[in-house]
């Protein structure tokens, strides 16, 4: 199966070097705590790590565009289980639903809102449970997927969905689960759960025996077939809609190869590989936005 691959360079970056990220103090402390805990008991440390897995961090991503939330054309508090999720929309026309990733927030798509509204779309963003301005403290990918479906129900027919990082997985789960949509764009999507667990372990320097306990607890809660259920190459095979996958070669969290492999298993998909944007700037780049807009226009 052939896929269309295209390079897009950031207009604001001239160097190809990727600077090592400085580890925040809070993460260094957490790493030390996990290491010490693991020396006492890998089992107990694994259970502690498992609780961390389900607890997103409320970050300030998209803070530059926070003002847009107060000027949304519509605002709804969606009842979701025992929590409420904030849902915002701007513009009128075909609905484009944005799905943020883990520890993200809907307003991370702020740079895309006005340009897409001017293009004639109604743009919808929301905060998943435990994220942004939403209630709750813990969540997981299947709950995020259900949130996508329930937010979509508020607006009727969804023309397009744009998912970033783990939000891309939630969007695919919702779509393969029966949510009707015309076009689906995935930004920096992870290939499978194995990589996400390994990334989690790497970020927190979790010893392998502790990470093994965590993986076992995931299987206890969601079943041993969990790894297959979250294999994106298998999920996208079931999609019969047009797709766009965008990954950056300098993304230190999700390798661009993941996006290429996902696109390669998707019958009707185009793959774009960018440079110098990393994991988050891919949502801000004007050229990526232009490609996304053209894709949504069809």
- How does pLDDT run across 147-205, given as a tens digit for each residue? 999 999 999 999 999 999 999 999 999 999 999 999 999 999 999 999 999 999 999 99
Q: State whether residue 98 is helix, strand or coil.
A: strand
User: What pLDDT is recorded for position 5?
Assistant: 56
User: What pLDDT is recorded for position 9?
Assistant: 47
User: What pLDDT is recorded for position 17?
Assistant: 40
Cα–Cα distance, 117 to 89 (Å, whole number): 10
**Among 167, 140, 147, 149, CA closest to 56:** 140
Are the beta carbons of 211 and 197 closer than 8 angstroms? yes
**Neighbour-count burial of 236, counting CB atoms closer than 10 A to its CB (0-12 exposed, 13-18 middle, 19+ buried):** buried
User: What pLDDT is recorded for position 59?
Assistant: 75
User: What pLDDT is recorded for position 12?
Assistant: 37
Sheet of strand 242-248: strand arrangement: 5-9, 269-275, 242-248, 181-187, 158-164, 95-99, 122-126, 83-90, 74-80
User: What pLDDT is recorded for position 64?
Assistant: 87
Structure token digits, residue 165: 């990082």
CA distances from 227 to 44, 54, 198, 233, 291 (A): 23, 17, 13, 12, 32
Are the beta carbons of 86 and 135 closer than 8 angstroms? no
In 1-103, the DSSP E strands lie at 5-9, 74-80, 83-90, 95-99
Q: Which spans in 106-140 are helix H?
A: 110-118
User: What pLDDT is recorded for position 61?
Assistant: 65
User: What pLDDT is recorded for position 16?
Assistant: 36
Cα–Cα distance, 207 to 282 (Å, whole number): 31
Give pLDDT < 50 ranges for the chain.
1-4, 9-19
Q: What is the pTM of this model?
A: 0.91
User: What pLDDT is recorded for position 25?
Assistant: 83
């Amino acid at each position: 199966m052939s896929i269309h691959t295209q390079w897009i360079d950031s207009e604001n970056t001239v160097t190809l070097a990727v600077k090592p990220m400085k580890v925040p103090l809070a993460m260094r402390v957490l790493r030390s705590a996990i290491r010490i805990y693991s020396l006492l008991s890998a089992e107990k440390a694994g259970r502690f790590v498992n609780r961390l897995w389900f607890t997103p961090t409320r970050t300030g991503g998209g803070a530059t565009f926070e003002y847009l939330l107060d000027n949304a054309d519509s605002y709804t508090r969606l009842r979701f289980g025992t929590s409420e999720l904030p849902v915002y929309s701007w513009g009128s026309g075909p609905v484009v639903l944005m799905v943020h990733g883990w520890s993200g927030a809907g307003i991370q798509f702020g740079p895309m809102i006005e340009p897409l509204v001017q293009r004639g779309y109604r743009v919808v963003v929301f905060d998943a449970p435990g994220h942004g301005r939403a209630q709750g403290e813990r969540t997981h990918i299947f709950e995020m997927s259900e949130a996508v479906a329930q937010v979509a129900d508020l607006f009727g027919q969804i023309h397009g969905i744009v998912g970033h990082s783990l939000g891309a997985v939630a969007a695919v789960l919702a779509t393969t689960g029966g949510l009707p949509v015309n076009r689906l764009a995935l930004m920096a999507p992870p290939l499978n759960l194995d990589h996400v667990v390994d990334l989690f372990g790497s970020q927190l320097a979790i010893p392998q025996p502790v990470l093994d306990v965590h993986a076992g607890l995931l299987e206890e809660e969601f079943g041993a077939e969990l790894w297959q259920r979250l294999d994106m190459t298998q999920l996208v095979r079931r999609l019969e809609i047009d797709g766009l996958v965008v990954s950056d070669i300098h993304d230190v969290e999700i390798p661009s190869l993941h996006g290429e492999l996902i696109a390669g298993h998707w019958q009707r998909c185009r793959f774009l590989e960018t440079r110098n944007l990393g994991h988050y700037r891919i949502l801000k780049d004007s050229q990526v936005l232009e490609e996304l807009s053209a894709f949504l226009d069809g």
